[in-house]
Amino acid sequence: MDILKFITAGSVDDGKSTLIGRLLYDSDSILADQLEALHTSNRKNDDGSIDLAILTDGLKAEREQGITIDVAYKYFQTDKRKFIIADTPGHIQYTRNMVTGASNANLAIILVDARKGVIEQTIRHSYLVSLLGIQQVVVCINKMDMVDYSEAIYETIVNDYKALAYKVGLKNVKYIPVSALKGDNIVHPSINMKWYDGISLLPFLESVELTVDDSTAHARFPVQWVVRPQTEELHDYRGYAGRVSSGSFKVNDKVTVLPSGFHSTIEKIEVLDAEPVEAFAGMSVTIHLKDEIDISRGDVLVNTGYLPEVSQLIEADLCWMDTRALDPSLTYFIQHNSKVTRCKIREILYKVNINTLEKEFNEDFKLNDIGRIIIKTAEPLAFDLYQNNKANGGAIIIDSRTNVTVGALMLRAVAED
């Protein structure tokens, strides 16, 4: 059994809470105490049925009180798969939270209200999903019950969305007409939409193939910690501990250490009491090399035949996440994998109006702004282009005064000086 991490994009009005509630309810994932609370609740739909939005309501109440505006995580599982939902608020002021949730998701559900069709908000959500490089997208055309389960309306919206998907660069898009309120095509096929012969949402989520960066060519291993017991019997023991971020490493593979550029060969791979011959993406292991090289935290082992970019001048997409605007005169920290160094924003190339996708050329970069910049780092970063390798193409910016994470970076290219 594996894990699928997904986000839901859509405002409260689109039925996001109801959709999540319906998924949990119809898949029998609601705990007995919650179920009891649902049945005894005074809140009912107009037709007397249970208001499933209650399941996420406690969180909303907290938000309204201003306790938090953050991503909430929910867990459920079926016989086929485990699911982690990053429940991200849909409003524009929460763009940074959607970016946060999307950065770790394999899949995004985008909700479209069948009565409204593709609107400005849909553009924003789709753009963010594309920007963050989420591989799989499911567009749920919701509230089909309120448009008489009309196939024509569904088809119109699908066609409109296809144009949008092309514009923002989304490739794997699945369309499902649903009513979260009535339960049509969420877990069970709808009897109200006989014209739809496709899969329902949950069976789709259970069966959709997850993409893993399996190519050994992209082998990347950021070193987190050097294991050196320094005991008498393990005097010369020196293992490099970390997590394979993409691709895979085998014993006897030739590797290069970056940024130093030294070469060596993998002698041994260790996981506590075991010695696997191969470590692939996602695995936390300890690697031993045949040669004695100076390697420390922040360095990265890579496949010698397929090197990443190494540069101090990088073009990147930036999502600004702090209430204090970006200040190009300041020095910030940048954290890329386990490496932290100082950086400055050399140039703001443009900002993107994420409602219209138009480029803007004003200088200020405020909370929730997204755009393209050139960044100068104090030490070189060994990175891949985000569009080729998410795991080695993302970075964060930290304000050195407050220590807060203020920006998300998707590294796009080596910049010319």
Is residue 268 helix, strand or coil? strand
Stretch that binds other proteins, among 75-83, 190-198, 300-308, 345-353 (CB under 8 A): 75-83
Site for other proteins in 337-356 (CB under 8 A): 337-338
Q: Which of 11, 70, 250, 346 binds other proteins (CB under 8 A)?
A: 70
Is residue 121 helix, strand or coil? helix
Q: Which of 18, 122, 126, 245 binds other proteins (CB under 8 A)?
A: 245
Stretch that binds other proteins, among 234-242, 310-318, 363-371, 373-381 (CB under 8 A): 234-242
Q: Which is nearer to other proteins, 49 or 284 (CB)?
A: 284
Q: Say if CB 18 and CB 60 are below 8 A apart.
A: no
Q: Does 168 bind other proteins (CB under 8 A)?
A: no
Q: Which is nearer to other proteins, 307 or 404 (CB)?
A: 404
Q: Does 98 bind other proteins (CB under 8 A)?
A: no
Instruction: Tell the burial category of 25 from Cβ atoms under 10 Å away from its Cβ (0-12, 13-18, 19+).
Output: buried
**Local structure of residue 198 (DSSP, 8 states):** S
Q: Which of 149, 280, 332, 365 binds other proteins (CB under 8 A)?
A: 280
Q: Does 232 bind other proteins (CB under 8 A)?
A: no
Q: Which of 405, 412, 413, 414 binds other proteins (CB under 8 A)?
A: 405
Q: Which of 41, 45, 49, 68 binds other proteins (CB under 8 A)?
A: 68
Q: Does 275 bind other proteins (CB under 8 A)?
A: no
Q: Whole-angstrom distance between the N-terminal and C-terminal Cα of the chain? A: 48
**Interface mask (CB under 8 A) for other proteins, residues 286-325, using x and -?**
-----------x-----------------------x----
Q: How far is the CB of 245 from other proteins (least distance, A)?
A: 8
Q: Which of 127, 333, 365, 383 binds other proteins (CB under 8 A)?
A: 333
Q: How far is the CB of 182 from other proteins (least distance, A)?
A: 25
Q: Which of 43, 44, 49, 75 binds other proteins (CB under 8 A)?
A: 75
DSSP lists the bridge partners of residue 179 as: 184
Q: Which is nearer to other proteins, 32 or 163 (CB)?
A: 32
Which of these, 309, 318, 300, lies nearest to 388 by C-alpha position?
A: 309
Angle at 31 between CA 29 and CA 35, to 5 degrees: 100
Q: Does 219 bind other proteins (CB under 8 A)?
A: no
Count of residues near other proteins by CB under 8 A? 69
Q: Which is nearer to other proteins, 100 or 142 (CB)?
A: 100
**Interface mask (CB under 8 A) for other proteins, residues 362-381, using x and -?**
--------------------
Q: Say if CB 368 and CB 95 are below 8 A apart.
A: yes
Torsion angles phi and psi, residue 114, rounded to 5:
-60, -25
Q: Which two tokens stand for residue 357?
A: 């996708």
Q: Which residues contact residue 308 at a Cβ distance below 8 angstroms, ignoring those fewer than 6 apart?
A: 220, 258, 300, 302, 382, 383, 384, 389, 392
Bond preceding residue 259 cis, omega within 30 of 0: yes
Which of these, 394, 399, 299, 296, lies nearest to 343 by C-alpha position?
A: 399
DSSP assignment of 17-67 equals HHHHHHHHHHTT---HHHHHHHHH-S-B-TTS-B-GGGGGHHHHHHHHTTS
Q: Does 195 bind other proteins (CB under 8 A)?
A: no
Q: Does 58 bind other proteins (CB under 8 A)?
A: yes
**How many residues make up the chain in this entry?**
417
Instruction: Tell the burial category of 209 from Cβ atoms under 10 Å away from its Cβ (0-12, 13-18, 19+).
Output: exposed
CA torsion 183→134→3→339, rounded to 10°? -150
Give the interface with other proteins as residue ranges (CB under 8 A): 1-3, 31-33, 36, 58-59, 62, 66-75, 77, 82, 84, 96-97, 99-100, 103-104, 210, 212, 214-215, 224-225, 227-229, 234, 237, 241-243, 245, 248, 271-272, 280-284, 297, 321, 333, 335-338, 390-391, 394-396, 398, 403-405, 408
